[in-house]
Amino acid sequence: MKIVVIQGPNLNMLGHREQNIYGAMKLDDIHAQMENVAKQNNISIEFFQSNFEGEIIDRLQECLGDADGIIINPAAYTHTSVAIRDAISALNIPVVEVHISNIYRREEFRQKSLTAPVCSGQISGFGPFGYHLALIALMQILAEIEAINKRKEAEKK
């Protein structure tokens, strides 16, 4: 099983920027924790971060046929990118959206996610722990998909 974690703009600055909102953990620390959980569950995990919308779209498209699931924090593009929304929508794999801060307690323009409606779910406001929650959620979603596929195969026989 392979999961791809896609991080949007400015997340490479975690640990430096607005620690009162995003905390002191760096992105590499979050990824190291996720990698430990993935290894414990025999999951291959890959990380990608870009400040460029087109690169995020390209990485999403590359997941088709290569990944079983995606965890994405589109960051500021959450509120503005119809293109990222469309890229997620075109995939036939589960996607969990994550936000470190509670976007619904922030400025009004941050309270609308264009991408969440085309994702399997959204986790918001739990700080860096939200990535751990997203990983658990995605593992559960993938286990359910596997169980359904096994049941369908058994019914064919």
Q: Which helix (H) or strand (E) holds 133?
A: helix 129-156
Both tokens assigned to 81: 């990118």
∠ at Cα 135 (29, 18), nearest 5°? Answer: 40
User: Coil, strand or helix: which one is 11?
Assistant: helix
What's the chain's average pLDDT? 94
Is 90 exceeded by the pLDDT of residue 44? yes
Q: Which pLDDT value is given to residue 104?
A: 84
Which residues does the annotation mark as catalytic? 22, 99
Q: Which domains does the chain have, with CATH numbers?
A: 2-156 (3.40.50.9100)
pLDDT digits (tens, 9 = 90+) for 71-92: 999 999 999 999 999 999 999 9
Q: Which pLDDT value is given to residue 132?
A: 96
Name the residue with tokens 């064919």. Answer: 156
Q: Which pLDDT value is given to residue 49?
A: 98
Is 90 exceeded by the pLDDT of residue 157? no
Task: List beta partners, residue 96.
Answer: 71, 121
Please tell me which residue, 54 or 20, carries the higher pLDDT value.
Answer: 54
Is 80 exceeded by the pLDDT of residue 127? yes
User: Is the separation of the CB atoms in 96 and 34 below 8 Å?
Assistant: no
pLDDT digits (tens, 9 = 90+) for 102-115: 888 877 877 789 99
Both tokens assigned to 116: 């969440």
pLDDT digits (tens, 9 = 90+) for 5-25: 999 999 999 888 777 777 778
Nearest to 14 by CA among 133, 98, 83: 98
Q: Which pLDDT value is given to residue 33?
A: 95
Average pLDDT of 118-138?
96
